Amino acid sequence: MNAQIFLIANQQKTTGEITSFLNAAFSGATISAVLLVKGSLDIDEYEKLAKTALPIAQKNNCALLLDNCPNLAKKIGADGVHITDDIKILKQTIKELKPDMIVGAGNIFSKDDAMIKGETGVDYVFFGDLEKPQNSQTHELAIWWSNTFEVPAVFYDKDNKNDNANCEFIALNEMSKNE
């Protein structure tokens, strides 16, 4: 199976930076989804960034996913949201956004986490941590999920050291700088 690219955009803080980053990334690869990480940005700054990224992603037939901001995703017409909050918030987000928008689940670090979040009706489960280095457990967990369940898996290989774990999506960080 060839994994599709799920791009993590987490270093861009200005509209100029996100424009340059996305244009460079799309010029070199076919990308299925972009997760626009909020990080330390306040909601107004993040909204400006998202509004800049959205038409670039959509022009390239790519889904733009916002980081834990379902109301903002609805407001600006983003394609979906990536939820790393607790299960109650995940379920509420699914109830509010699906089937019209993508809802993915992150912060999955065990088989129990994966099964609990995977059974909620999410569109994907995300294996890996946006902040910390990966370990072999993350890779093994992604392989287990991919071989066992139908809900698509995103494997975040922060250091680009592992294969795609036979996942439907491979998440890359700052792809245009690493290639």
pLDDT along the chain (179 residues), means of 10: 88 94 94 96 97 98 98 98 96 98 95 96 93 77 93 83 73 59
Confidence (pTM): 0.93
Give the pLDDT of residue 161: 58
Beta-bridged to residue 153, according to DSSP, are 125
The continuous run of DSSP H or E covering 102 comes out as: strand 102-108
Tokens read off for 148: 């066992």
Give the pLDDT of residue 177: 42
Contact 90, 117 (CB under 8 A): yes
CATH superfamily of 4-178: Aldolase class I (3.20.20.70)
How many CB atoms within 10 Å of residue 1? 9
